[in-house]
């Protein structure tokens, strides 16, 4: 009885997490763009927060980490539609989710995808600003991407899906 009741709440908690991710993403972008007025600064201007972390305004016209750049309006529209289609598919899967980690993973990806789709709809590009390129990494590697809260959420969601897959696979053996 308890298991059935809990499993019915899983999708709704997942949707609440997705809404929270969207809210955090949009609030952080609003603060950076309008609170710090980076929207009126030249692209690439940096605000040092810590020696290894900067707020750097970058308009990403592609998908995560700048892949598949969309220069024309119709290309941005395709990326918006793709984000919404992925979110719809994951929402359908979340309604059937039986495990918390699975629903949480879907929620993070849905929230991140919709957060970035909102940017594309408003600005024609995604506002990226989290810059850890000054963080010293081993062996001379450098993390050269600028990203946002939605990108972080998508990556956490994918990681949670991999963990769920590994744990679920182990439990079925």
Listed by start position, the domains of the chain span 2-172
3-47 pLDDT per residue, tens:
443 567 889 999 999 999 999 999 999 999 999 888 887 777 788
Q: How far is CA 84 from CA 55, 136, 165, in A?
A: 28, 36, 24
- pLDDT grade, residue 76 (50/70/90)? confident
Enzyme catalytic residues = 128, 151
pLDDT given for residue 2 in this prediction: 35
Question: DSSP string of 48-63?
Answer: EEETTEEEEEEEE-SS
Are the CB atoms for 82 and 68 separated by under 8 Å?
Answer: no
Rounded to two decimals, the pTM is 0.86
């Amino acid at each position: 009885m308890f298991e059935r009741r809990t499993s019915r709440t899983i999708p709704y908690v997942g949707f609440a997490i997705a809404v929270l991710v969207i809210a955090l993403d949009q609030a952080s972008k609003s603060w950076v763009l309008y609170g710090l007025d980076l929207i009126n600064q030249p692209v690439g201007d940096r605000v040092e927060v810590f020696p290894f972390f900067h707020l750097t305004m970058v308009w990403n016209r592609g998908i995560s980490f700048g892949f598949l750049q969309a220069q024309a309006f119709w290309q941005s529209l395709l990326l918006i539609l793709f984000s919404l289609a992925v979110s719809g598919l994951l929402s359908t899967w979340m309604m059937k989710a039986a495990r918390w980690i699975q629903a949480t993973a879907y929620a993070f990806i849905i929230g991140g995808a919709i957060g970035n789709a909102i940017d594309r709809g408003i600005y024609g590009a995604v506002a990226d600003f989290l810059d850890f390129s000054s963080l010293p990494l081993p062996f001379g590697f450098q993390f050269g991407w600028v990203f946002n809260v939605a990108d972080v959420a998508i990556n956490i969601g994918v990681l949670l899906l991999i963990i769920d897959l590994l744990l679920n696979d182990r439990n079925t053996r």
